Amino acid sequence: MGTLSKLAWGKISTIHIQRMRNWARHTHAPLLAVVVLAGFTAASCSTGGTETIQTVLVAPPNAPPRVNRDATHVIVNLEAREELREIAPGVEYREWSFNGSVPGPLIRVRVGDTVEIRLRNRSENTTLHNIDLHAVNGPGGGAEATNVAPGEEKAFTFKAKAPGLFTYHCAAGIVADHISNGMYGAILVDGLTRGPAVDREFYVGQHEYYLSDTPGPGGIPQLDSTKLLAEEPTHVVFNGATRALQGDDVLRANTGETVRLYVTNGGPNLISSFHIIGEIFDRAYQYGTLMSPPLQGIQTVLIPPGGAAIVDFGLDVPGDYKLVDHAIGRVSKGGLGILHVIGGEDPETFQALGVPGAAEPSPTSPATAERSPTRTSTATPGEGGGATREVTIAMGDNVFKPDAVDLSAGSRVRFTLPSAGLQPHNIRIATLSGAFDAGAVSIPEVILAGQSGTLTWDVPDPGTYKFRCDIHPVEMTGIITVK
């Protein structure tokens, strides 16, 4: 969602809360009003003295406004959808979702509410769905009460008793399949007391896809059950797609602001070691509970599949802050989001000094400096001697520049590999026979956006050597010609 939409949302939410207050004051008035805007609906009516409201639903990464009202009867309208969606560049997948987003919308209620969950299964869908909310005390968390075939709709109510952030998911059929296909989300039960107000709230979900190597009908990858049972996902993503929180869709905030993230982990298999590179969580509501006091000064929170966490932090220094699962190899599978922070520098909090002891402080901004560490690896040390040729190959999204390099046999070359895109990349040079496994030479690390790596290579026998990025082996390829 763009900045303008977010601004509009802020205004609308204020209006909405004001209306809720007015409605609360006229409990016996015959009211029926519906507000429908792109991305959310809100409605309220009073029937026989019992106020009923329709909850506000917005698509992630947005969170609905705080609940500022007495406990009441809240209706939540959910719809199971099965739709094609691009989950990674060039990768379409038949995603299953609640209301068309992954994760499904953040449902926001308060302690004491009677929550009426209505689940509709679109008639054009192919399979049974339901919903199990972890905020429910009752069989299946509501799953049995909401088993709906395509074209059906069912409902149930539950009393929201425990404050906190809870996962919900589809529990129909092979449950792991439904979650991996995208059917999970979170419900926030606001407590009677709560943490301090923050300037911005975002909603982030992590989960895994298990795609088949061989496409199914229509060239669309299928869910690979073998990979799912082996817990070896092809993609680990935030908000349903590898780039959901990148490019134009980064989270945005300003220095001096406080931010709260509602984070849920759909799984179905992996525990998230959720971390923001360059930030410390001032408060972490571990497991999503709002009944226990938050932990303070936390670097990384564990979020089990079917679990959640709420984290608060203040922003002091501008720059791009990366949301990751600190099981960091998963970044290569797509698990990377960006929080883009703009505003004035705060040199007392963070300052890059450049070369220690140099007379002039580095003009490099702290944010830029943080993004430009250089990693070095030597693939084949060799005997040394002779000049080392320097060659720079830039890694964009998803292309090498240049993608053709001429070198001399027997020489030594040092590749400098700046990553200018938003995706992580690496480089691997094949053997003369074209093999990318045994005998191939690669930089051992993944180079994250804004970072740079080096690879030293003793140029072998003449011939043509292919190279590629292991993460984007189809698009990111090149050739080294050795003479």
Q: Which residues here bind Cu ion, judged by CB under 5 A? A: 129, 170, 172, 178, 183
Q: Which residue is nearest to Cu ion (CB)?
A: 170
DSSP 8-class letter at 230: H
DSSP per position, 157-193: EEE--S-EEEEEE--SSSHHHHHHTT-EEEEEEE-SS
CB of 182 to Cu ion, least distance (A): 9
Distance CA 183, CA 32 (A): 32
Beta carbon of residue 100, minimum distance to Cu ion (angstroms, whole number): 14
Q: Which is nearer to Cu ion, 24 or 175 (CB)?
A: 175
> How do beta strands 307-314 and 337-342 pair?
unpaired
Min dist CB 183 to Cu ion, Å, is 5
Strands 295-298 and 281-285: antiparallel
Looking at beta carbons only, is 183 or 237 nearer to Cu ion? 183
102 or 172: CB nearest Cu ion: 172
Q: Which is nearer to Cu ion, 97 or 258 (CB)?
A: 97
User: Residue 131 CB, nearest distance to Cu ion (Å)?
Assistant: 8
CA gap 238, 102 in Å, rounded: 9
Q: How far is the CB of 96 from Cu ion (least distance, A)?
A: 5
Gyration radius (Cα) of the chain, Å: 26
CA distances in angstroms from 131 to 136, 168, 398, 419, listed in the order given: 11, 7, 38, 42
Nearer Cβ to Cu ion (112/150): 150
The H-assigned helical ranges of 234-383 are 366-370
Q: Of 173 and 386, which CB lies nearer to Cu ion in the complex structure?
A: 173
Q: Minimum distance from CB of 322 to Cu ion (Å)?
A: 31
Q: Could you tell me the sign of the dihedral formed by the alpha carbons of 445, 451, 456, 461, in that order?
A: positive
Spatial CA neighbour of 124 closest among 91, 164, 84, 160: 84
CA dist 60 and 390 (Å) reads 45
Nearest distance, CB of residue 331 and Cu ion, angstroms: 28
CB-nearer residue toward Cu ion: 183 or 251? 183
